[in-house]
């Protein structure tokens, strides 16, 4: 029997990565319904209710998010409408119809003052509007549902949309020298790997509900990630490391936002793929 899965925000990196798995025989027990803001606006609870009522979903994977970190500083209301109220709406409707909600969150719920990987038990303390809006979304879900998975991830990239890898490739083709921040430390995550993790949770009908961290395995700075990208693509561009202070942005970023994936490994038997392995996979698809 097919497992019916709703995917919101399917035109983003993760949504598109999930759609590439449709033809993979490993996931042929899943029947996906992909929606965008045009077909399902998560800020409109009435619309969500009507949509759930006319479909028989088992799971909802919420990939819909306001992700413009710098823009969010000026568009706080819009960021909270999608990331907090949208999550609340999905949680309330999921509860009504007995749907398990899988929600994607971010490393930006932390302030970056730690110097070892963040655990799910660490206290969040966001330093920008985007992180705050995502944290409020998490809390709405946790206070509404029992059957949920919240997966925090970090430094998401893919062959789709705008992300650091694609920006580096574009700039690498245009310039001879690039300045890249070297004092923000994290773990890049290939969206396709995260998509596969989510599908594994659904297929196994796992009931170890709760909050989890997932990223690819590896700790590096943006500068080191850029080095890896250009090493793989054999581009001899000159890279110069600069501090965050040399590249000011409207939104503050945590200087350290590495997530520990030990809980998801222990509870859900999920293995992390190594950063370089996943980067090579992604670059082959661009």
CATH code (residue 146): 3.40.50.720
The pLDDT assigned to 22 comes to 87
Whether 7 maps to a domain, the answer reads yes
Residue 44 lies in a domain: yes
User: Mean pLDDT throughout 212-225?
Assistant: 99
Any domain includes 73: yes
Q: Can you tell me the mean pLDDT for 64-85?
A: 98
* Calpha distance 136→140 (Å, rounded): 6
pLDDT tier at 25, thresholds 50, 70, 90: confident
The parent domain of residue 59 ranges over 3-163+188-216+258-272
pLDDT band for 128, please (50, 70, 90 cuts).
Answer: very high
Q: Which residues of 227-256 are buried (b: 16+ CB within 10 A; e: fewer)?
A: bbbbeebeeebebebeeeeeeeeebbbbbb
Catalytic residue annotation: 130
Q: Residue 26's pLDDT band (boundaries 50, 70, 90)?
A: confident
Q: Could you tell me the CA-to-CA distances from 77 to 43, 72, 128 in Å, in that order?
A: 12, 8, 13
Average pLDDT, the chain: 97
Strands 148-153 and 210-213: parallel
Residue 122 forms part of a structural domain: yes
* Three-class SS state of 47: helix
pLDDT tens digits, 158-194 = 999 999 999 999 999 999 999 999 999 999 999 999 9
Residue 59 within a domain: yes
**Can you tell me the mean pLDDT for 91-96?**
99
Residue 226, helix vs strand vs coil = helix
Is 75 contained in some domain?
yes
Tally the domains of the chain: 1
Confidence class for position 46, pLDDT limits 50, 70, 90: very high
The predicted-structure confidence for 94-120, as pLDDT tens digits, reads as follows: 999 999 999 999 999 999 999 999 999
pTM for the structure as a whole: 0.97
- Is residue 24 scored above 90 in pLDDT? no
Residue 64 is assigned to a structural domain of this protein: yes
Judged on CB neighbours under 10 Å (0-12, 13-18, 19+), 10 is: buried
The whole-angstrom separation of Cα 103 and Cα 62 is 5
Vertex 39 angle, CA 34 and 44, to 5°: 115
**pLDDT value at position 286?**
93
> Does 78 map to a domain?
yes
Q: Is the pLDDT of residue 241 over 90?
A: yes
The mean pLDDT value for 44-62 works out to 98
């Amino acid at each position: 029997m097919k497992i019916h899965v709703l995917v919101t925000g399917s035109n983003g990196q993760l949504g598109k990565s999930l759609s590439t798995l449709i033809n993979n025989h490993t996931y042929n027990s899943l029947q996906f319904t992909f929606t965008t803001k045009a077909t399902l606006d998560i800020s409109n609870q009435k619309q969500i209710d009507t949509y759930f009522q006319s479909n028989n979903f088992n799971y909802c994977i919420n990939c819909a998010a306001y992700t413009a970190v710098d823009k969010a500083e000026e568009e706080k209301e819009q960021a909270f409408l999608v990331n907090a109220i949208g999550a609340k709406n999905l949680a309330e409707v999921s509860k009504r119809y007995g749907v398990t909600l899988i929600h994607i969150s971010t490393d930006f719920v932390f302030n970056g003052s730690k110097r070892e990987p963040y655990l799910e038990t660490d206290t969040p303390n966001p330093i920008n509007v985007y992180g705050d809006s995502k944290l409020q979304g998490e809390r709405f879900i946790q206070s509404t549902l029992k059957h949920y998975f919240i997966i925090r991830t970090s430094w998401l990239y893919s062959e789709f949309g705008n992300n650091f890898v694609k920006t580096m490739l574009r700039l690498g083709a245009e310039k001879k020298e690039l300045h890249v921040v070297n004092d923000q430390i994290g773990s890049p995550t290939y969206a396709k790997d995260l998509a596969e993790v989510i599908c594994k949770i659904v297929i196994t009908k796992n009931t170890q509900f709760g909050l989890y961290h997932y990223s690819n395995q590896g700790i590096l700075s943006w500068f080191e990630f850029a080095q890896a990208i250009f090493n793989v693509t054999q581009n001899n561009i000159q890279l110069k490391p600069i501090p965050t202070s040399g590249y000011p942005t409207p939104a503050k970023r945590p200087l350290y936002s590495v997530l520990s994936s030990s809980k998801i490994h222990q509870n859900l038997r999920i293995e992390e793929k190594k950063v370089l392995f996943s980067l090579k996979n992604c670059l082959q698809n661009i």
